[in-house]
Amino acid sequence: DTEVTQTPKHLVMGMTNKKSLKCEQHMGHRAMYWYKQKAKKPPELMFVYSYEKLSINESVPSRFSPECPNSSLLNLHLHALQPEDSALYLCASSQDEGGHQETQYFGPGTRLLVL
Amino acid sequence: GENVEQHPSTLSVQEGDSAVIKCTYSDSASNYFPWYKQELGKGPQLIIDIRSNVGEKKDQRIAVTLNKTAKHFSLHITETQPEDSAVYFCAASNNQAGTALIFGKGTTLSVSS
């Protein structure tokens, strides 16, 4: 099973709202990622968690706040977003054993619209 | 840092023809090269990957070749079918776990019947 699940599938929010995106995997992977993808563009890395610790933050604005409550779950908390933050938000996971790069498996994404 | 160039940006073929997508990378430390297929409204799906200790890998109608000296790798799809229509992304990374995949800009493949 190589499934990464994400909820919700779609989200519409105003600029003053607070919302959260959720990601879950049960493959025993210890690295989890958030990517942002604009239309007709490749995914861009936002955050990486390795063994539940934040290991990479690609200079993402503080209105995006990641959280990794346990090895299977990854959240992205959203607050005071701007219309330009509208995009497809993708979660991915990988094995992360022995320091070697393993295959990243992506979820279906949450399509976010900020009004 | 790593930079991945992908060509062509769009590719149209007739059903049954072959399709080839090419990528070049800049960082000689990169040694893992996956290819993802993304259909409309879905997340990227891994279709094949290759590591730098291998020159070629094949999985049914899909093959990937890697030329480390020239720093380029290619995706080959034979006997294309309409369901192969999608956006294809190549990517590169080094061997460190939890590091970023650097993606090419993508190729929109259209297979007409």
CA distance A44 to chain B (A): 8
Radius of gyration of chain B (CA): 14
Q: Is residue A3 classed as helix, strand or coil in its secondary structure?
A: coil
Q: Is residue B40 classed as helix, strand or coil in its secondary structure?
A: coil
CB contact under 8 A, A94 and B98: yes
* Burial class of residue B92, CB neighbours in 10 A (0-12, 13-18, 19+): buried
Residue A99 in this model has a pLDDT that exceeds 80: no
- Confirm if B17 and B25 have CB atoms less than 8 A apart: no
Question: B43-72, pLDDT tens digit by residue?
Answer: 999 999 998 888 999 999 999 999 999 999
What tokens appear for B110 in the block?
């259209």
Q: What is the mean pLDDT of residues B69-82?
A: 97
What tokens appear for A76 in the block?
């992205």
Instruction: Choose between B1 and B26: higher pLDDT.
Output: B26
Q: Assign A58 a pLDDT band (cuts: 50, 70, 90).
A: confident
What's the residue count for chain A?
A: 115
Q: What is the mean pLDDT of residues A71-77?
A: 96
What tokens appear for B83 in the block?
């369901």
Residue B97, pLDDT score: 59
Q: What is the mean pLDDT of residues A53-68?
A: 93
Residue A1, pLDDT score: 59
Instruction: Choose between A95 and A92: higher pLDDT.
Output: A92
Question: What are the beta bridge partners of residue B112?
Answer: B14
Q: Which candidate, A90, A87, A94, places its Cα nearest to that of A109?
A: A90
d(CA A71, CA A31): 8
- Confirm if B64 and B73 have CB atoms less than 8 A apart: yes
Residue A2 in this model has a pLDDT that exceeds 70: no
CB contact under 8 A, B46 and A105: yes
Q: Assign B1 a pLDDT band (cuts: 50, 70, 90).
A: confident
CB contact under 8 A, A99 and B96: yes
DSSP code, position A79: E
Q: Which of A40, A50, A108 sits opposite B97 (nearest CB)?
A: A50
Give the pairing type, strands B4-7 and A18-25. unpaired
Residue A59 contacts B, CB cutoff 8 Å: no
Residue A86 in this model has a pLDDT that exceeds 90: yes
